[in-house]
Amino acid sequence: MRIGLSDMVVKPLGVGAMAWSKSPRWGYGADLGAKDVRVAFQVSLEAGLTFFDTAEIYGRGQSERILGRLANNHTDGIYIATKYAPMPWHFTASAIKKALNNSLQRLGREQIDLYQIHFPMSWAKIESLMDVLADAVEAGKIRYVGVSNYSSDQMRRANDALGKHGLPLVSNQVEYSLIKRGPESDGLLAACQEMDICLMAYSPLGRGVLTGKYGPGKGPSDLRRFYGQFRGKYLASVMPLVKALEEIGENHGDKTAAQVALNWLARKPGVFPIPGAKNETQARENAAAICWNLDQEEVERLDNLSAIFL
């Protein structure tokens, strides 16, 4: 697939590097380490997954540094995306330029393939942000511009602002999964498809809920335990969907629930899931999620079971 109106042609699945750091907030876990991440990166590449997404705030820059070290040993055909966070102390034109230069340094690159605004903030005018990023494209520091967590209206404003510079908005990265189907009900998916903007789906496995690993009375022990989707009543409501994912997976040669959930997303026009992969097992499982296809009856079954999450 092509990432929006860019020249980046990729397999219909990317790799999220949020957990590629040693930070307690974002870290890859006490039982994992740098070697696991390195193998996950290599396995992903061998499977043809060439798009890697990170952000300046992931591990306070550690994720960018780790990804940069890994990617710079394989410079051909790899696309790197990162994000700038417009915080109250960090949103002027000079701050954006400084943040971009810092990301370039951490990544060890002269140019970033896709530079994204991480989230909208009232104090950071969308048009002003796009003007600064357009200048960065002209300066050769970034190739394409994207946004994240933008509504349809905010996305259109960003696209219009870039259009005045002769540039397209390439992507909008939002949470989207079988249990987070908001992009369908609020019109964002339709708007992305209309405007040829790639909808990058983060947390495509519902932060782990759709893997079948969790259930009522059996949640994660890390910070995710405070998220609403890990409350007992909510988890109970997801179990029929998880059971269907497992049954469908069995019918396709013992595919996992996670692979079925990713396949459901990857089938949608213009949607690009970017699941995390912090070890070899996850990387191999993710890559194998797009080597087959759900049939229409299975898609409809999942659509119906997850309709409560629209």
Given this model, what pLDDT does residue 29 score? 65
Q: pLDDT below 70 — which residues of the chain? A: 23-31, 75, 221-228
**Among residues 275, 134, 310, 257, which one has the least CA distance to residue 203?**
275
**Among residues 51, 55, 42, which one has the least CA distance to residue 6?**
51
Given this model, what pLDDT does residue 34 score? 86
Instruction: Give the Cα separation of 274 and 35 in Å (integer).
Output: 21
> Tokens 């339709």 label which residue?
190
Which of 58, 79, 115, 176 is catalytic? The answer is 58
Given this model, what pLDDT does residue 228 score? 67
Given this model, what pLDDT does residue 135 score? 98
Given this model, what pLDDT does residue 133 score? 98
Q: Kindly state the helix (H) or strand (E) to which residue 288 belongs, with its residue range.
A: none
Bridging pattern class, strands 271-273 and 79-84: unpaired
Supply the pTM of this predicted model.
Answer: 0.95
Residue 113 in contact with residue 80, Cβ under 8 Å?
Answer: yes
How far CA 248 is from CA of 214, 242, 264, 265, in Å, comes to 18, 10, 11, 15
Given this model, what pLDDT does residue 276 score? 96
Given this model, what pLDDT does residue 32 score? 72
What is the residue type of 178?
Answer: L
Active site residue 58: yes
The arrangement of strands across the sheet holding 51-53 comes to: 15-16, 51-53, 79-84, 112-117, 142-148, 169-175, 198-202, 271-273
